[in-house]
Chains A and B, each alone.
Chain A
Amino acid sequence: MASEYVLEKEKIHKLIGIRHLTTSTYVLRFDKKSLDFKAGQYITVGKFNVEPRQYSVYSPNNVEYLEVLIKEVEDGKVSRQLKYCKPGDNLVVDGPFGHFIIKDEHIEQHKKFLFIGTGTGISPFHSFVGSYPNLNYQLIHGVHYGEEAYEKDFFDPDRMVVCTSKDQQGDFAGRVTDYLKNQEIVNETEVYLCGNSEMILDVFDILENKGFPTEQIHTEVYF
C-alpha cells in the first residue's frame, strides 16, 4: 500500500501558453498565484508524476504571470514532457529559491552591471531587465547559432552583444570568453554569470587575471 501524496493547492499552476522560440527551445507561461520572487531567483517546475527541474524565472517580477525558458534536453524527461503541455494543463511549481539577485542598494546606487549568460542562462537577465527598467547594464549572450539569441529584441541593442560560436549571425563570432578577453571591465561593475560551469569558471579566471575583484562576481551554475 502506498500512502497518498498530497500537494498544497497553491503549488498547482495552470499553463497559460507556450511560445516556441526554436525547434528545441520554448517559453512556458503559467499563472503566478501568490508566488512572489526576486528577479534572478529560480523555481522548480514539473508534472505530477516526474521529478521537477529547476528553472530561473524568465519573466519580470512585476507581471501577473510566470515564465520559464526551457531547452529540450536530449533524453530529458521533464523538458520533453513540458514541451507538449497544453494551455489549461496543471503544473507543479515550487519556489522561489536562490540568491542570484541584485541588491537593492546597488539599484539605488545606479551601479554598472555586466551580465554574461550562455544559452538559456539568459533567463535571469531577462527577468532583471524587465523588473528594473532603468538598469545600467551590458549583456553578453553566448550561443552556438544566431537563432538561439532568444527574444533579443527585448533588450536594448546598444547594451547587448551576441557571441555565436558556430555561425556568423551574432555581433561577435566566437565564445563569450574570446570576446571578454579584449574588453575592459571597470572595477566598480557587478558581474553576473549564468550558464554552464565551464563558461563561468573560464570567465572567473579571465576577470581574476584582469585584476577584477572576485567578490563582485555573482554566479548561477546551469547544469
Chain B
Amino acid sequence: MKYHLLTLGCQMNKSDSERVSAVLEEMGYAPVENEEEANLLGILACSVRQKSIDKVYSKIHKWNKAKNHRHLITFVSGCVLPADREKFLKLFDMVFQMGELPKLPDMIRQYGVGNGMNFNLPNGATDDSKKDETFNPVELNGEPVKKSLKGTLLAPGAIKPFWNIKPQYQSSFEAYIPIQNGCDKFCTFCAVPYTRGREISRPSEDILNEFENLLDQGYKVITLLGQNVNSYGKDKNGDEISFAELLELIGKKGMEKNADAWVYFTSPHPRDMTNDVIDVIATYPVLANQIHLPLQSGDDKVLIKMNRNHNVAKFREIVEYIREKLPTATLFTDIIVGFTGETDDQFDNTVKAINEFAFNMAYIAKYSPRPGATSYKWDDDVPNETKKERLHTLTSHLKKHTAAYNKSLYGQKLKVLVTGYDAKKQCLSALTEGRINIRIPLDEPGWVGEFKEVVVSGYTDFSLEGLPEAIREHAI
C-alpha cells in the first residue's frame, strides 16, 4: 500500500502533513514521490490563492480519470472554504478537517483497506478522541447531525485528538510544533477564519512534552506554529497560560536540558504582541533572536481597511522595544502591495516604513483577491502593472537594508545550522540564528543537520557566504 500526499501552502499545512503521514504510515502505507505508483492519493489544500484551489481541482479530475484503469482512493483536507468543501464532497472519496484525522483509518477501512492502528502519542499525552464529546453528533431540529453539515466548521475542541498524533517528522533536525489553530482576527484579505475556524490553543502540557521529546532526539530548530501564536491561551479565558508564559517554560526547559537548539515562532500578530514576549526571548538562550512580525502596510488607512486592528505607531512601539531588548535580533515582516484602493501616497507610507524599520527580510506579495475573504467582494482596482512596480520599488528599498546588515556581518564568526547540500555545486546551505541564508562552499554532505561556526567571507543583498575559520585562514 502506497500513498502520495500533495501539500500546498504554508508551514501550518506542512506541519499538518507530518501528522497525516504518521497516521497513514501507521496503517502500513509507504510514501511515494510519484503519484502514479500510489493507491491512496491525498491533498492538503490551501485557500490563500485561487491558484492553489485550481490545482486541487486539476489533480482530482486527473485522479478520477485514473480510477477508470486502477483502484484509487482519494482524500482532501487542509484549508478548504465551506463552498469548496461542498464541491469536493462530490469529487473526492473522503473530505475531512484536521480535527477528524484520527478517524481517517476508519474512513479508509470502509474501502476495504488497512488494519487496526494505535497512535504513537508524545510522552504524557492522552488519546482522548474517543471520549471527546465534540465527536458525538448532536440533534438539530430533531434530526441527528450527519453529513448535512457540509459547510460547517468543526467545533474548536475537535482539533485536540489531531494534536495528540505523534507526527512523522520530515527532517531529523528541524521540526514544527503546532501550538494553536484557527484565527479570530478576520483580516479582510484573508480567508483563514473561514477555513480553519476560530482560534484554539493546544494544551501547554502537550506542547512542552512534544518540545522535550524533540530536544531529546537532538532537534536543532524547533518552530512553534499558529496563525496568531501570540494570542495563545486567550481562548481559554484564564484556564491556560499566556504565550509569554509558554515561551518562558520552553526557555526554562531548554536551560534545564542544556539544549543546543534554536526555537522560533510564527506568526505573531502586532495587535497581541506584548513586551513580556520580548523580555522572555532576551532571557533564555534557546529562544532564537529572530522575530517575524507582519506589518502588511505602512499606512494607517490601509491597515484599517485590512481590519488589522493595529496602526503604524503600535508597530513602531514594538520594534523599538525589540531593538532595545534584542539588539542583535533580525526582524522579518510580510507586506501586501496594491491592496484594494491603495493610493500612491499610501504606498509611499509603506516605503517609509520599510526604511524606518530596516527589516532583514520582507515577504512582499502583490495583493490578489482571495475567494472567501471579505476583500474579495471589493474592486481589485490597483492595476497589476502598478502592483508589480510597487513590489519592485519596495524590494529595492528593502535591499538597501538587507545588504547593509549583511555587510555588517562581514568577518564575524557566526554559529550556523547546515540545512542542505547541493551535490552538483558541492556546496552547503545554512542558516544563521537570525535566519539569514548562508552558503558554505564546501563538499561536506555529512555536515547537514549540524551546527558549525563559520566566518562570514562574503555577502549579497539577501545572503551570506561563510567558511570555517581554519579553512578561511588557509585560503587567505
Contact = CB atoms under 8 A, between A and B. Distances in A.
Contacts of A98: 184, 186
B137 interface: yes
Interface in B114-155: 134-138, 140-141, 145-155
Contacts of B110: 1
Interface stretch (B56-64, B243-251, B298-306, B443-451): B298-306
Given A1-B110, A3-B107, A8 B134 contact: yes
Given A1-B110, A3-B103, A197-B305, A51 B198 contact: no
A221 B83 CA distance: 24
A68 B466 CA distance: 61
A197 B379 CA distance: 13
A2 B155 contact: no
Contacts of A134: none
B158 A6 contact: yes
A155 interface: no
A48 B152 contact: yes
Interface string B76-93: 000001110000010001
B377 interface: yes
B300 A214 contact: yes
B150 A221 contact: no
Most buried by B among A5, A9, A99, A219: A5
Interface in A41-69: 46, 48-51, 54
Given A12-B138, A90-B140, A201-B304, A48 B186 contact: no
A interface, by DSSP: helix, strand, loop or mixed?
mixed
A2 B140 contact: no
A46 B82 CA distance: 12
A5 B94 contact: no
A47 to B, nearest CB: 9
Interface in A199-223: 200-201, 204-205, 214-215, 219, 221, 223
A6 B136 contact: yes
A221 B188 contact: yes
B304 A221 contact: yes
Interface string A80-98: 0000000001101011011
A102 B97 CA distance: 36
Interface in A1-47: 1-9, 11-12, 46
B149 A94 contact: no
A143 B193 CA distance: 30
Interface stretch (B6-14, B28-36, B170-178, B307-315): B307-315
Interface residues of B, number: 52
Given A12-B138, A49-B148, A221-B304, A6 B155 contact: yes
B151 A197 contact: no
Contacts of A51: 81-83, 151, 194
B169 interface: no
A7 B107 contact: no
Interface size class of A (residues with CB under 8 A): 35 or more
A221 B301 CA distance: 11
Interface in B365-415: 374, 377-378
Given A8-B134, A8-B155, A2 B147 contact: yes
A2 B150 contact: yes
A90 B143 CA distance: 12
Contacts of B313: 215
B95 interface: yes
Given A219-B304, A221-B304, A221-B307, A7 B155 contact: yes
Contact of A7 (B138, B188, B374): B138
Nearest to B88: A2
B253 interface: no
B186 A2 contact: no
B198 A5 contact: no
Contacts of A95: 198
Interface of A: 1-9, 11-12, 46, 48-51, 54, 89-90, 92, 94-95, 97-99, 197, 200-201, 204-205, 214-215, 219, 221, 223
Given A1-B107, A2-B150, A12-B140, 12 more contacts: A4-B146, A5-B145, A8-B138, A48-B140, A48-B145, A49-B149, A51-B81, A90-B140, A97-B198, A214-B300, A219-B304, A223-B378
Interface of B: 81-83, 89, 93-97, 100, 103, 107, 110, 134-138, 140-141, 145-158, 184, 186, 188, 194, 198, 271, 300-301, 304-305, 307, 309, 311, 313, 341, 374, 377-378
